[in-house]
Structure 1
Amino acid sequence: MPNTLSGLKAVTFVRIPAEAVMGAVVLLALPRRPRLVLSAVAGAVVGALTVVDFFNMGFVDYLGRPFNIILDWSLLPDARGYLKDTLGGTVELAVTVGAGLLIFLLIAVVALATVRVSNQLTRVRTKATRATLIVGTVWITCNALGLSVAGSPLAAQKATAVLKSQVRTVQQTLKDEAEFRKVAKVDAFGNTPGDQLVPALRGKDVVFTFIESYGRSAIEDPIEAPGVDKTLDAQTAMLKKAGYAAKSGWLTSATYGGSSWLGHSTTMSGLWVSNQQRYRTVMASDHLSLTKAFQKTGDFDTVGVMPGIQKGWPEQSFYGLDKVYNAFQLGYKGPKFSWSTMPDQYALQQFQDRVHSKKPADGKSRMSLLILTSSHQPWAPIPKMVPWDQLGDGSVFDAIQKAGNKASDVIADTTRSRQEYGKSVQYSVTALTQWLQRYGNDNTVLVFLGDHQPIARVSGNHASRDVPISVVAKDPKVLDAIDSWNWTDGLRPAHDAPVWKMSSFRDRFLAAYGSTPHPKTN
């Protein structure tokens, strides 16, 4: 069976598998008991490889990468949570039970079927031996001549290839873990004293904001871009009218389609955090995050607003946040919008009321980290902007949520998903920039970016991993400091604007604002 949805065609099932030919040869040569044991084990392995193929289909379609048999099991609870928030608890339970039953049946039934086939072979041993020899000869001939049907080779060895690939993945994963631990111990600013970190931003109110799934496709895809580009241009003009200027570029994210925390940690750590194993390593390390650099100065209060966090979050220590507001600490009484616990506009107003409007103690400045969620898939229903003074406890969104699209109507429709994704980005960008126009001041410095591209079904199977990033400020010195970056003026980065790896941003940002490197090597 193919391991991608695009390869799932009828012609792929008419191939002659080398493993079946070799399996028949071995089974015909074995005594009864070893034959039954081997056939059962071989069948179970084939069933398990089929399960891996199914997982691979889903991961390639949603995350743009193959399934990692070592690391990706930990993502299954998140997948269940996403289904529950998007389609409801009943659907989530049905899918979970159905998937578990399917996995069991694939392994058990294929094992039993292989045992049955081995018994059938031995009942007609002479004919089976002759048939195996003929089929083997046909396989060798097809392989030697490169014969194919509709581009699919007749001679196949798919199961062996998948097994080799998984063994190689396990080896590479274990090797990567050891190598990354060494890399994480090296830090160009790890020993920099607090008074030598971001001196050019003393007295500023610095806000780092991630917009969920805000990728290059939103700005350049023919379906999504017209609305998003119009919004970016309009908000650039509004910000300029309010006295703000902006510069924008591109970062290549370490993740794609999901696992937003990998994008967050890559940006803030300066390390390429491309899988869950690396993430755990970084979170357990003392590597200096960009946000913790502000805490280390002693001159900044540090606060996080995380409407997507609904459980304990030990990562708070790595990010150097003195206080974190999660989904249950923002006073929201309105409806959820699928996975998103609350509209971005509401989260931003709560940030304003609880954090931004209050001066830090002891004359300190403030650094804030916001993670906005309204542009999270399935992009239905999508919130709408309401007057800021009518937000209240969020109940105003009840009618908007009820009148919106149902997730089930959008999630399986590629064109509608792309259209609604674009609208969700427009909403998030509008909410953030309106907040800045309404509540920002002469010392506000806003850095906002996407964490990753949307899923492959929306951004395309061969889309880049690039996300937009913008720096906005009133003080011209803030943007003068990054003039050498050659970013595009305004909120919409040009197609040919500089593209950096997301992991390079921390060091470039620290250096641009006057930080002095003092390397740490172990």
Structure 2
Amino acid sequence: MIRHGDGSAVRGLGQPARRDAGPFAVAAAVAVLMVLPLAPALLAGRSAATTAGLIGLPVESLVILLLLVVVPGRIPRLVLAAVFSGFVTVALVLAGIDLGFQSSVGTVFVPVDWPRLGDGYGVVADAVGWFAADLLVVAVLAAVVVCAILLARSALLVARVVRTYAAGRRVLAAATAVWVGAALMAPPFAAAASAETIETAVSRTERVLADQAAVARAIERDPFAGVPADRLLTGLRGKDVVIAFVESYGRVALEAKGIAPGVTGVLENGQTMLSAQGYTTRSAWLTSPTFGGLSWLAHATLQTGVWTDTQSAYDQVVGSDRLSLARAFGREGWNTVSDVPSDTQRWDVGTSFYGYRTLRDATDVGYRGPTFGYARVPDQYTLKRFADTDLSHPHAPLMAEIDLVSSHTPWAPLPQLVPWQRASDSTAYAGQPAASESASTVWQSPTMVQRFYGQSVQYSLGALESFLSNVDDPNLVLIVLGDHQPASIVSGAGASHDVPISIIARDPAVFTAISDWEWTPGLIPGSGAPVWRMDAFRDRLLAAFSPTL
């Protein structure tokens, strides 16, 4: 620029004239500032309807425009625009993650539980394949970056127009006055969706951190911690106690139209078979601390008697010296085994906290057949291999936890039962995935998802029945239960956290010890069956089978 002595300026040769943004660009920038800061409320379901949620003045956009108009200097304005963009983008990300958590695992997302995102990614990858999951992650990250750039550039552009034109300043002043008035008289129109989302995340985090003190107190209040080794679990001496978690086996499996008939049919046939072989069964309900996933929270709750409903609570529990059922049995002389064929890496907590003497996972059970979605090993193979390895020969009393995962989301493709003698032969499962619908096909329709969920539970329960009908162990005490309800796409909105639990044994003394539990006969909990919180089970079990306490 060439400046005259009177202060005016003329443009130098070769310098292009600066062009103001066109009306369409300005309109698009205004739309970005009006819509994106409101989106967290829509994702979080705080707006009654999509259209209603978009009718509002976002305070975040008003504040940034006011600041960009009054703050001098290019660099400070860039910093302010970046802070605004980051704030709204973080709110969008938190709201999106929260929506995914509530849809899949029926719980809200707390930032301190961010490690669970990796598990969520694993579930998605099992459903759609690792390549598609990676593409999805890339697409989400790209969308986040695009949103951040659009927000910053839009704020800078609209602020420049407001500074340049008096009409723009009047519009901004009027919008601010309208927001203040709406905040007093029509709150929904005075929106602060991004700020509320960030505030909610902070308050949830504070609540979880506050809950840690309550968890610590629950860990310390252990009525069985000091019980001498010769007085605990004496009523189960000589018994082989097996806790079998059936993945996603929730109340919906026994009550939902379109799902329950197939599942209850399997259970009724199984009950007939068990009765013929001299087994007695009793059933009830437990309320799980989790929903749709995060199975390890249920396992920890059942084993320790501490309500473990968040990742931070889990970390507290497994970092403590709380007495787990596995450690209690091991202390009393049982050989303790954890059989989790879905794991691919060593589970150090299994020995350091739970106290298992033997850990088995996908790397050491000898399975060489095809995988079935999340389930790397079919449940029938798991049970046959366990029977052959641990029960088919003279052995010391055994306590084992077996995690059956063929009913784990995405519930496709599904395995099929094979003759028991071939169940530990990996080749028996060759071709089975191809004979089933793929996860990508099943997940195109909620009805298909629900149907395949029901079939997966039928398979897992059928595998258990084949185990019981072929293993002759008069000392067996089998505790079968679900870890949590399936995701909302199956369970429906607002479903309970209840899961079935059954005890199966031949020795009448087992049921004499628990007669005051008032569980109902059979594999299907009756209408009057008790409903306990899952954290009540450990203490009830230890008390029932430690009669000298």
Task: Place the TM-score, normalised by the shorter chain, in its bin.
Answer: over 0.9
CA distance, structure 1, for counterparts of residue 507 and residue 247 of structure 2: 27
- Residue 475 (structure 1) aligned to one of 492, 507, 522: 507
Q: Is 1:136–2:176 an aligned residue pair? A: yes
List per-residue Cα deviations over 1:24-81 (Å, max 9, x = no partner).
334333323444322321121111111111111111110112221121x212222333
- Superposed, 1:146-185 pairs within 5 Å as 146=186, 153-185=188-220
Matches within 5 A, 1:52-63: 52-63=94-105
Tell me the TM-score normalized by structure 1.
0.92
Pick the structure with greater CA Rg. 2
**SS in structure 1 opposite 2:289?**
coil
Structure 2 segments unaligned to the other structure (5+ residues):
1-38
What is the root-mean-square deviation in Å for CA atoms of aligned residues? 2.0
1:489 equivalent to 2:521? Answer yes
Describe the SS at the equivalent of 2:400: strand
Structure 1 pair 68/515, CA: closer, same or farther in 2 (3 Å)? farther
Counterparts of 1:476 and 1:281 in 2: how far apart (Å)?
38
1:192 paired residue among 206, 227, 248:
227
Match of 1:39 in 2: 81
Aligned counterparts of 1:516 and 1:5: Cα–Cα separation in 2 = 54
- Out of 274, 296, 302, the position equivalent to 2:336 is 302
Given the alignment, which residue of 290, 293, 312 partners 2:328? 293
Counterpart for residue 93 of structure 1: 134
Amino acid at match of 1:488: T
The AA in structure 2 aligned to 1:128 is G
1:427 is the counterpart of 2:459 = yes
* SS of residue paired to 1:304: strand
- Cα distance in 1 between the residues matched to 2:448 and 2:160: 52
Q: Which amino acid aligns with 1:311?
A: Q
Q: In structure 2, what is the Cα distance between the partners aligned to 1:313 and 1:24?
A: 52
| 3-state SS in 2 of match to 1:70 | helix
The match for 1:333 among 359, 362, 368 is: 368
Aligned letter for 1:441? D
* Distance (Å, rounded) in 2 between the aligned partners of 1:160 and 1:81: 31
Q: What is the letter of the counterpart of residue 9 of structure 1? A: T
C-alpha separation in 1, matches of 2:380 and 2:265: 20
1:380 corresponding residue in structure 2? 412
1:150 is matched with: none
Matching residue within 374, 384, 390 for 1:355 = 390
Gap regions ≥5 residues in structure 1: 148-152, 518-522
Report deviation, 1:97. Answer: 2.2
The alpha carbon displacement at 1:327 in A equals 1.0
C-alpha distance in structure 2 between counterparts of 1:175 and 1:108, whole Å: 36
- 3-state secondary structure, aligned to 1:3: helix
| Other structure's SS at 2:111 match | coil
Query: 1:501 — aligned with what?
Result: 533
The residue matched to 2:546 in structure 1 has which SS?
coil
Bigger mean CA deviation after superposition, 39-48 or 169-178: 169-178
Give the conservation status (yes or no) of the 8 Å contact 2:304–2:535: yes
- Give the paired residue count: 506
Do the aligned residues in 2 keep the contact of 1:62 with 1:257 (CA within 8 Å)?
Answer: yes
1:418 matched to 2:450: yes
Contact 2:97 2:109 survives alignment (8 Å): yes
Secondary structure of the residue aligned to 1:358 is coil
- The answer to whether the 8 Å contact 2:248/2:408 transfers is yes
Any conservation in 1 of the 2:304–2:323 contact (CA below 8 Å)? yes
Q: Partners in 2 of 1:430 and 1:406 — Cα distance? A: 21
The aligned residue for residue 13 of structure 1 is 54
**Structure-2 separation of matches of 1:145 and 1:156:** 13
1:243 match: 278
Give the one of 246, 255, 262 matched to 1:211: 246
Identity among equivalent positions (%) equals 37
Q: In the alignment, is residue 439 of structure 1 matched against residue 447 of structure 2? A: no
Q: Structure 1 residues 6-15 or 271-280, which shifts more?
A: 6-15
Aligned partner of 1:15: which letter?
Answer: G
